[in-house]
Amino acid sequence: MIRNDAPITPELVREHGLKEDEYERFKALIGREPTLTELGIVSAMWNEHCSYKSSRIHLRTLPTKAPWVIQGPGENAGVIDIGDGQAVVFKMESHNHPSFIEPYQGAATGVGGILRDVFTMGARPIAALNFLRFGAPDHPRTRHLLAGVVAGIGGYGNSFGVPTVGGSVGFHERYNGNILVNAMAVGLAKADEIFYAKATGVGNPIVYLGSKTGRDGIHGATMASAEFDDTSEEKRPTVQVGDPFAEKLLLEACLELMKSGAVIAIQDMGAAGLTCSAVEMGAKGDLGIELWLEKVPCREEGMTPYEMMLSESQERMLMVLRPGLEAEAEAIFRKWGLDFAIIGKTTDTLRFVVKHHGEIVADLPIKELGDEAPVYDRPHISNVFRQAIAPETVAAPVSNVEALKRLVGSPDLCSKRWVWEQYDHLILGNTVQAPGGDAAIVRVEDGPKGLALTTDVTPRYCEADPVEGGKQAVAEAWRNITAVGGKPLAVTDNLNFASPERPEAMGQLVGCIRGIGEACRALDFPVVSGNVSLYNETNGQGILPTPTIGGVGVLDDVRKHATLAFKREGDVLIVIGETKGWLGQSLYLRDICGREEGAPPPVDLAAEKRNGDFVRHLISSGLVDTVHDCSDGGLAVTLAEMAMAGGIGALVPECPVDLPCNAFLFGEDQGRYVIAVDGDSAPDILYSAASKGIPAVILGMTGADSLTLPGEEPISVAELRTAHERWLPAYMSGEIAPTP
């Protein structure tokens, strides 16, 4: 008989984030009133963050398989085969809620958590990326949050020793009350030496490794499963504190231990700490787990079983060890100065039994804790239809060159150097394309292979049309990898949405997942890992739907890659893909005309694939070394970015007769690339494109030190650079008024 340590009142149930019917379901499952520890355990297992209860039925529709997929969703991270016995392990995860409350530690532990997910599987992290969204620049908290988040990401990744090679930073008032911090990690492992969470064998020791358990982060996952209100500040104690030094030691110790052959199963203690990791290891292996909490290394005295089970202290791991190898394993951990304790064993009872000094404080059915978690098919409505905007109806409020200058200096398109200079992006010496390119490129060890890595989504498109927005996020990730010469292989998705309990927000989630699925199928770009972050709303105001896509591709020979910088004067500029002048939801329409309106550009997945395959072939066959994908801000911004990166100008003599010039220059039609090639090879490329039915048009030519748009005064590359580099440092130092 379990002693009931506290009466379970309806208030207590509510404080644990459980709905009344969820609690009743739990009581029915165990046939009695739970103990406080048990209530804590189930609240951790059944919250949105851990159980995916609102998203699960929709996530099932995503394509997750391909011949090169070794491990799809459901493990600590996804695993793909890149040939030569090598595998890439990667995942992206959000740390939105904690980062809003305590930006430095929230972001730092987000990086720590995702790195741990990757090395838990036996991979050494070789790159990190992120995707960040903040509120409007003139919101009073934005500067503070941005400074803290960036310092936190750098503080953790730099010390751990992984290059942070890419990412995205943007602003929108809809993130005023809920910022987004999505962190992605990429690791390299041997394809036949991947480690999993599934426990095997009865009576095997369960070992606790890493840092000690403290009271930090208790209920972190529950916090991340609720919307914010004015009292969210009080949740600061639920944010964990990161120790990158401990994580670095944990990495080295884990990889050394894995090599020794002592590890049967391994799971990092992330969200919901000891509870989630122990239950997952047992449930996956069809085994029971018994824990002896008095053996858990604690940072503070007098911690209760409830606190130990729910602590989210960082830099901890749980392993099932091969019996007889405990001493060898312990020696490795002691050498690295880390805690090592046998805290339980596997059993054949299929029960999750937690004891404290011999007394049973929890005794729950282990499979049901995961499998019987509530699954909801929540009501959802698709969002209002937005009218397409005809290019002819958008008058140009300023000259096109003025519009370009404003756009390249705007908060969303300006240089993010201030941010990525705080990240060590060069450690390990394999960074071939540092931040600032379409996709980052890291060489795999001594080559010749390389990885192309990117994080993408255009939230304003998703808001206007979730299905097209979801497709576009995948297509853009695929395109960015292609633009550097990579073959896109797989994605990790980080779905950031508002409260699923509101049908319109739920509709955004459902629509975006549908679009992601369509695009991933069409582009042969399966989802191998991911994370869902819901309840990103404050006082009823939700974020823009933001399904971040982290894409991974491979370059067989990293020497054959493309960058966006103009390299020679006199190169012919060719745009691949069709330009229709789509201004709906464009940055030009929003930032220059002041209209956040219209339907977003449609994504033609067949054209996307055809155009991309063509461009990739040009790069891998060594014909083209200068490519930039055409996205936010259209052709004009694309050209400006290429000019600024290379310090060489360009001349675009005319606009097509059938399009208004502003729509031609700033329209955001999808599936396009600008390439710069020498004059001799241009005819062949145009001919080859025509023979494949791929739209390819000469735009102009590179040269001189100015960019000249049709009918406009030339603007010097130096002036563009000044505009591009100015805003963020000036904003962060308070030199300029926050409003753009």
Partner 1 sequence: MKAAVVVFPGSNRDGDVARALRLAGGEVATVWHAEDELPKGTDLVVLPGGFSYGDYLRCGAIAARTMIMDAVRAHAARGGLVLGICNGFQILCESGLLPGVLMRNANLRFICHWQHLKVERTDTAFTRRYAPGQVIKVCVAHGEGNYFADEATIGRLEGEGRIAFRYCDEAGNVTADANRNGSLNAIAGVYSEKFNVLGLMPHPENLIDDLAGGTDGRGLFESLVARAA
Q: Are 362 and 354 in contact (CB under 8 A)?
A: yes
Task: Find, among 496, 522, 521, 520, the residue nearest to 509 by Cα.
Answer: 496
> What is the C-alpha to C-alpha distance for residues 168 and 459, in angstroms, rounded to an integer?
12
Smallest separation (angstroms) from partner 1 to the CB of 156:
11
List the catalytic residue out of 16, 58, 95, 724: 95
List the catalytic residue out of 16, 49, 58, 425: 49
Nearer to partner 1, 339 or 476 (CB): 339
> What is the C-alpha to C-alpha distance for residues 418 and 442, in angstroms, rounded to an integer?
22
Nearer to partner 1, 96 or 158 (CB): 158
Strands (E), 229-358: 263-268, 288-292, 316-321, 339-347, 351-356
Nearer to partner 1, 528 or 555 (CB): 555
Dmax (CA) of the chain:
85
- Neighbouring CB atoms inside 10 A of 548's CB total 29
Nearer to partner 1, 157 or 500 (CB): 157
What is the phi/psi pair of residue 309, to 5°?
-70, -25
Smallest separation (angstroms) from partner 1 to the CB of 427:
6
Nearer to partner 1, 228 or 727 (CB): 727
Nearer to partner 1, 336 or 588 (CB): 336
Smallest separation (angstroms) from partner 1 to the CB of 707:
23
Smallest separation (angstroms) from partner 1 to the CB of 251:
10
Nearer to partner 1, 441 or 576 (CB): 441
Which residue shows structure tokens 């609720």? 226
CA separation (Å) from 697 to 470, 629, 690? Answer: 28, 15, 10
Dihedral sign computed on CA atoms, order 19, 25, 30, 32: positive
Nearer to partner 1, 245 or 376 (CB): 245
Q: Mapping DSSP to helix (H, G, I), strand (E, B) and coil, where does residue 322 land?
A: coil
Smallest separation (angstroms) from partner 1 to the CB of 558:
7
Is 357 known to be catalytic? no
List residues near partner 1 by CB under 8 A.
Answer: 151, 154-155, 158-161, 243-246, 248-249, 336-337, 420-432, 443, 447, 558-559
Residues ≥6 apart with Cβ < 8 Å to 246: 210, 211, 314, 315, 338
Strands (E), 419-564: 431-433, 440-443, 450-456, 487-496, 527-533, 537-538, 541-542, 546-555
Q: Are 253 and 247 in contact (CB under 8 A)?
A: no
Is 139 known to be catalytic? no
Smallest separation (angstroms) from partner 1 to the CB of 589:
35
Smallest separation (angstroms) from partner 1 to the CB of 426:
5
- Strands of the sheet with 339-347, listed across from one edge: 263-268, 316-321, 205-210, 339-347, 288-292, 351-356, 359-365
Smallest separation (angstroms) from partner 1 to the CB of 421:
5
**E strand or H helix at 627, and its extent?**
strand 627-629
Q: Are 54 and 500 in contact (CB under 8 A)?
A: yes
Nearer to partner 1, 221 or 257 (CB): 257
The DSSP code sequence of 89-106 is EEEEEE-HHHHHHSHHHH
Q: Are 651 and 566 in contact (CB under 8 A)?
A: no
Pairing of strands 450-456, 487-496: unpaired
What is the phi/psi pair of residue 601, to 5°?
-60, 135
Residues linked to residue 354 through DSSP beta bridges, in sequence order: 291, 362
Residues taking part in catalysis: 49, 95
